[in-house]
Amino acid sequence: MIAGSIIMWIGIISSSFAPNILWVSITQGILFGFGAGLVFMMLPVIITQYFDKYKGLAFGITYSGSTSSAFVFPRLLLFLRETYNFKSSIRIFGAILMHVTAVSLILKEPEWITRKRHQDKRASRQPKPIVCTVDHPEPNCAKSPAKNSSPAPGSLMHGLTVLQSPMFYVVLASYILFGYTFDVFMATVVDFATDRGSNVSDAVSLIPLFSVTDTLGRLCLPVLADRGYLRRSTLAMINYTLMGLILMILPRVESYTGLVVICLVLGTFIGCGVSTYPALMAEYVDQQRLPISFGLVGTVAGPLFILKPLFIGHFRV
């Protein structure tokens, strides 16, 4: 987490000195992207270490920051660009990102998690006696230590055993489909509104309206699973189903009022999906394999998301 945050602000600040687009691609694209990936991968792991019953609400509060920033940072960037210049504004944003490093210093692994990991490692090193049945007595049979073939807890090989879990692939597939839907909607909703006759100002205002119910969905709906009213998997199923139905209605909407209603309702379900995914992963994968699990999901989903412009362009043309 600390390393990722440092790489993030180094990438942003370095991009302000860019002499060409290649420099920007390396600093903001590779450096910042790599650092952000580390931070966003470790953040849900840390949350699951501290929260058990109210994981969904904890994730909702955490991820509501990204929607809340939609109301603050665009105007802040505009103010900084008018007050200073664009390069100086980027450096100020890099300085703001330095606070992530300061906060990361506070986030430490809980004592009970560290203690349990050490106990599991010690237990994995202990020789295990063999219990065997033979036709002829072997007096030394029970004294022979068994070779422990299972990977040590906390090791890379132990983390990769998550690939043997069918539910991991279910969560992975649902996340990729949800992420594609979310990204494609956000990338096309303004253009869709203008195609339906809305002016640019009204079309752009759909994003802040969407962010309001998105925040509510991240904070409120996951509590249903936290309080035990619904299983988390049931909540995810209902949420994705309703989200799909709303998206099927969207192409038939002609009026701006209808688009506002669709964005408000869809924002609620998308917000719930954002908070539900990491909590659902933590429900099916044990704590020691969570970092590898989130890393594998990012490794698979990242290249697929890169193809998103081609996907949009294919249907847009």
Segment 77-83 shows an average pLDDT of 82
What mean pLDDT is reported for the chain?
A: 83
What is the structure's pLDDT at 242? 95
Segment 235-261 shows an average pLDDT of 92
Assign 306 a pLDDT band (cuts: 50, 70, 90): confident
Distance CA 247, CA 197 (A): 19
What is the structure's pLDDT at 98? 93
What is the structure's pLDDT at 139? 55
What is the structure's pLDDT at 73? 76
- What percent of the chain lies above the pLDDT cut of 90? 23
213, with CB counted inside 10 A (0-12, 13-18, 19+), is buried
At 130-189, the pLDDT tens digits run 555 555 555 555 555 555 556 666 677 877 888 888 999 999 999 999 988 888 888 888
203, with CB counted inside 10 A (0-12, 13-18, 19+), is buried
Q: 117-121, 169-173, 226-230: lowest mean pLDDT where?
A: 117-121
Segment 46-72 shows an average pLDDT of 82
What is the structure's pLDDT at 305? 79
Please report, for residues 10, 183, 254, the alpha-carbon distance to residue 250 in angstroms, rounded to integers and kept in the order given.
Answer: 41, 16, 9
At 24-46, the pLDDT tens digits run 889 988 899 889 888 888 888 88
Burial 120-142 (b: 16+ CB within 10 A, else e): eeeebeeeeeeeeeeeeeeeeee
**Number of neighbours of residue 82 by Cβ within 10 angstroms:** 9
What is the structure's pLDDT at 264? 94
Segment 195-221 shows an average pLDDT of 88
- What percent of the chain lies above the pLDDT cut of 70? 85
Segment 294-304 shows an average pLDDT of 84
Q: Report which of residues 267 and 302 the model is more confident about.
A: 267
Q: Which domains does the chain have, with CATH numbers?
A: 1-108 (no CATH), 116-146 (no CATH), 153-317 (1.20.1250)
At 156-172, the pLDDT tens digits run 787 788 888 899 999 99
Sign of torsion, CA 291 293 298 303?
Answer: positive
Q: Report which of residues 128 and 284 the model is more confident about.
A: 284
